[in-house]
Structure formats: C-alpha cells, structure tokens
C-alpha cells in the first residue's frame, strides 16, 4: 500500500476544479466517473465508501448531481469556500463558452453555413433525447407498475398538458405510499450501492473522523439557510422594485427558481418544464431555437442543465432588455440571472445538508419516491422527443410533406448512439457536417 496522501493545499484543489470544469464532458455519468477516477483512484483524496455516500445524497436531490457532488467534495476537504469554489468552477467554463456560442448563434444563425450545420444537428438532438428515453427507461422500468406510471405521465403531459410540477408531485406521492402496497415495484435504488473496492488509504478515509466544519448543528443549518434566502431575496427584490414583477429578468429569476427545485431525474426531466414556460408561456424563444440550444448545451463541458443559460441569453437578447444598441449586454444579463437562480439551491442543499449526511454513513431511505419520479420522467422525456421530432421532421407543420433527410439523419444518429454507443459530441459534429452537405446540395 502506498502511503496515505497528505492534506491537499487549497491551491492544488482550485487548479483541479478549474481543470475539471473544462474537461467534464459526457453528461452526469461521465462526469461522475471522471471525478471518481481522479479523486478516489488516482489522487486518493477521499475513499470509495465516502465518495459513494456523498453521491447517494446528491442522487436524491433536485439539481445537477455531478455539480453537487463536486461541491460536496470541495466542501468536505476545504470547508465552505472549498465547496463554493468547486461548484462554481464546475459551471463557470461552460457558462462562458455557452454565452459566446449563444451570441454567435443568435447573430449569425441565419447564414448559410450555420443554417446548414444546424439542419443536421437538429436530428441529432432528437436522437439524443430518444436515447435518454431508452437509457433511463431500461434502467428504471423494471416492473409493470412503473410502466403504467411512465405511460400515465406521458398521457398527462401530451394529451392533458398537465404542468410538470404536478406530475412530479403525483409520482412522489405514489412512490411513497406505493412502497407499502407493492414494495417490489418501487425497490429500485436511487443510489449507487456500497463500496466494493479499495484503492489504498485516502486522505478522507472510511474511518477518518468527521471534520469539525462538517459536523451537524442546527446553528450551521440556520446560518446556511439565512445566507441562501438572502442571496435569493436580494436580487429578486431588486428586480421587482426597480424593474417590476412582470419584467423579463424578474420573471426569469422566479421561473428558474422553480425549475431548479424540479430537476429530479436529470436535465432532460426539467426540459419539458422549461419548454412549457420559456417557449409556450413567456415566448422568450421559439421551438426551433430551443432545439438548437440543447445542441449547444450538449457540445459544451459542465452540467447539461447549463442550457438554461442559453435560454436566458436568447430571451434577454430578443426582448432587447436594454435597448437595440445593447443586445449582447441584455443577453449576458439574462444568462447570468438564469444561471444564478438555477444553481443557487444546489449550493444550499450541499452546504446545509452535508453535515447531516456526514453524521450517518447509512444509505438514505428515499428510493421509492425517487424510483416513481424517475419512471414518470421517462414518459415526460418521451413527450419531449416527440415534440422535437415533430418540429424537425415537419418544420412547416403536419400539413406539409415529411422532411425525409431529417428523418434519416435522426435514425442514423439513434443507431450510432444506442446500437454502437458512440459519444454524443462526435455524433452531433458528424450530423452537422452531413446537414451542411445536404443544405449545400439542395
């Protein structure tokens, strides 16, 4: 056995978190695997058991679990500022990249080259969402009752246009009470199991005493709660008093606060809710722009939910918040506001709830509601996939003819993603080039 690692200087951790923010591609599964490889296997900053215990907590929280896990690791090693730095740097590179890409898209999206690229990218995005249905469904729908839950959620949002929060609430209640009637149906674990491998002594090992800053006290919880409410209420009060409740920035702050508390099951689960609000209700962007934004989000590092920054940028830009001469500033303001209110709750869940989780190393008993929610999410994401397919295959409505090229590109991307398990980014780039060739030939 190699010797136990010594305490990690804050500067070394900061460099690592910054690097992680630029290379964290591959969605939450890839990001968590990368953190496990670096933190548990190579650097041995934390043991396998402690890592999985933290991950199990992040799995049952609303919000991006990989970003929350990074925040948890940073907090456990270097107190509050360690968590803030780790969580912020996990998001910051993708935010800056996405602001730049959104500006290029909205300013030059109508040029022949960009239009051709997105002609091929849109079918790829449709395939990515279909892959999400397959991936989450194959992992979750392991009992007939869960298939019924997924089907009911699909009908609710597709036929009845039921608000996404009501679907999530109904699924959680069903899971909570359903486990008493049919425990086998809701036994799917929302966590990642127990540690089975040891990679040598770690800086924070299985038997390492809980650090002083990570010990649970009601005073710490109250302090974090007051700070969190202040950081939420001050900007909301400023926007409301200076701009008015109906102003775009105020409504973005309120809407994405709600969205942040509903992201059970990953970013794909909350996208239908974002679509209902941002596209149908507020009209911040069009359906086609929503599809393009998901493509941009898939090609940047960081959590996929950062696509909401694109929604904020396009909404602020098109609404000309600061006049026609300050469009980039308006878009940037929208992106920053949306990002702030989307990720703020994640920091509060970790900094406030982390000490309680460290006080016990037993698995959380929240798997039944989470299993039911995830099953409902399958139906919701299927609705999103059909919505994307409709707008991509029949861009001018069902009364027009089917766009066969887009349909073929979608099928090809599905085969590459599901059958051959290709990575998302190469599939998007390949489809973009094919779309450019097809558009040029038309």
The answer to whether residue 266 scores a pLDDT higher than 70 is no
Question: 261: Cβ–Cβ under 8 A, 6 or more apart, which residues?
Answer: 62, 345
* Cβ neighbours, 10 Å, residue 148: 15
Q: Is 247 among the domain residues? A: yes
Mean pLDDT, rounded, for 332-349: 96
Residue 118 covered by a domain? yes
Task: Read off the pLDDT of each residue in 151-171 and give the average, rounded to a whole number.
Answer: 87
Write out the two tokens for 187: 């036994």
Instruction: Please tell me the distance from the alpha carbon of residue 356 to that of residue 15, in angstroms, as a whole number.
Output: 28
Is residue 387 in a domain?
yes
Please state the rounded mean pLDDT for residues 1-10: 67
Question: Residue 200 domain-assigned?
Answer: no
Residue 380 has what pLDDT?
A: 82
Beta bridge partners of 46: 204
Tens-digit pLDDT profile for residues 175-208:
889 888 888 888 754 445 454 556 677 788 877 8
Residue 367 pLDDT grade (very low, low, confident, very high; cuts 50, 70, 90): low
Terminus-to-terminus CA distance in the chain, angstroms?
Answer: 64
As for how many domains the chain has, the answer is 1
Instruction: Give the separation between CA 112 and CA 345, rounded to whole angstroms.
Output: 41
**Does residue 207 lie within any of the structural domains?**
no
Q: Please provide the average confidence, as pLDDT, over all residues in the chain.
A: 86
Three-class SS state of 237: helix
- Cα separation, 216 vs 228, in Å, equals 18
The predicted-structure confidence for 368-411, as pLDDT tens digits, reads as follows 777 888 788 888 889 888 888 988 899 887 888 999 999 999 99
368: buried, middle or exposed (CB in 10 Å: 19+, 13-18, 0-12)?
A: buried
Give the mean pLDDT of 219-248.
95
pLDDT, position 139: 76
Q: Is the per-residue pLDDT at 94 higher than 50?
A: yes
Give percent of the chain with pLDDT exceeding 70. Answer: 91
* pLDDT score at 43: 86
pLDDT for the residue numbered 189: 47
81 belongs to a structural domain = yes
Identify the band that residue 363 occupies on the pLDDT scale cut at 50, 70 and 90: very low
Condensed to tens digits (0 to 9), the pLDDT of residues 28-72 reads 766 887 888 888 888 888 988 888 878 878 877 888 888 999 999
What is the share, in percent, of the chain residues with pLDDT greater than 90? 41
Query: For residues 87 and 295, which has the higher predicted lDDT (pLDDT)?
Result: 87
pLDDT of residue 190: 45
Judge whether 346 lies within some domain: yes
What is the per-residue pLDDT across 295-308, written as a single tens digit (0 to 9) for each?
Answer: 888 778 888 889 99
Q: Residue 397 has what pLDDT?
A: 79
Domain extent at residue 265? 10-189+218-441
Of 61, 124, 70, nearest to 298 (Cα)?
Answer: 124
Residue of higher predicted confidence among 29 and 19: 19
In a domain, 270, yes or no: yes
pLDDT score at 5: 57
The tokens for 123 are 């079918």
Q: Among 84-93, 297-306, 354-363, which stretch is predicted with the lowest mean pLDDT?
A: 354-363
Contact (Cβ atoms closer than 8 angstroms) between residue 94 and residue 21: yes
Helix and strand counts by DSSP (H, E) for the chain: 16, 0
């Amino acid at each position: 056995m190699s010797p136990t690692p010594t305490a990690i200087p804050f500067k070394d951790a900061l460099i690592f978190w910054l690097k992680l923010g630029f290379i964290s591609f591959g969605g939450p599964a890839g990001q968590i695997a990368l953190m496990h490889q670096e933190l548990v296997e190579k650097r041995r900053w934390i043991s396998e058991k402690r890592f999985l215990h933290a991950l199990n907590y992040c799995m049952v929280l609303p919000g991006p679990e990989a970003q929350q896990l990074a925040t948890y690791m940073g907090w456990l090693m270097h107190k509050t500022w360690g968590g803030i730095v780790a969580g912020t740097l996990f998001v910051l590179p993708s935010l800056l990249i996405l602001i730049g890409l959104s500006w290029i898209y909205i300013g030059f999206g109508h040029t022949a080259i960009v239009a051709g690229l997105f002609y091929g990218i849109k079918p790829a995005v449709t395939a990515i969402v279909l892959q999400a249905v397959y991936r989450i469904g194959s992992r979750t729908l392991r009992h007939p009752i869960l298939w019924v839950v997924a089907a009911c959620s699909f009908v609710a949002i597709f036929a009845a246009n039921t608000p996404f929060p009501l679907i999530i609430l109904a699924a959680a209640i069903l899971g909570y009470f359903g486990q008493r009637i049919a425990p086998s149906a809701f036994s799917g674990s929302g966590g990642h199991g127990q540690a089975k491998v040891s990679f040598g002594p770690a800086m924070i090992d299985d038997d390492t005493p809980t650090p002083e800053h990570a010990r649970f006290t009601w005073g710490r919880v109250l302090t974090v709660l007051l700070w969190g409410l202040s950081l939420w209420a001050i900007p909301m009060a400023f926007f409301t008093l200076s701009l008015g409740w109906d102003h775009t920035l105020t409504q973005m702050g309120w809407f994405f606060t709600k969205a942040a508390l509903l992201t059970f099951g990953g970013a794909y689960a909350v996208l239908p809710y974002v679509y209902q609000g941002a596209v149908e209700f507020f009209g911040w962007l069009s359906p086609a722009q929503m599809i393009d934004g998901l493509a941009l989000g898939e090609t940047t590092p960081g959590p996929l939910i950062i696509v909401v920054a694109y929604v904020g940028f396009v909404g602020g830009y098109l609404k000309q918040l600061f006049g026609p001469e300050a469009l980039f500033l308006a878009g940037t303001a929208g992106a920053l506001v949306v990002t702030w209110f989307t990720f703020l709750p994640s920091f509060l869940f970790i900094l406030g709830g982390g000490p309680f989780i460290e006080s016990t190393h037993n698995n959380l008993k929240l798997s039944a509601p989470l299993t039911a929610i995830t099953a409902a999410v399958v139906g919701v994401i299927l609705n999103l996939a059909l919505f994307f397919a409709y707008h991509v295959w029949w861009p001018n409505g069902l009364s027009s003819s089917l766009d066969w090229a887009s349909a073929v590109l979608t099928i090809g991307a599905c085969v590459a993603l599901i059958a051959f398990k290709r990575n998302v980014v190469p599939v998007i780039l390949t489809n973009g080039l094919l779309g450019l060739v097809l558009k040029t030939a038309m």
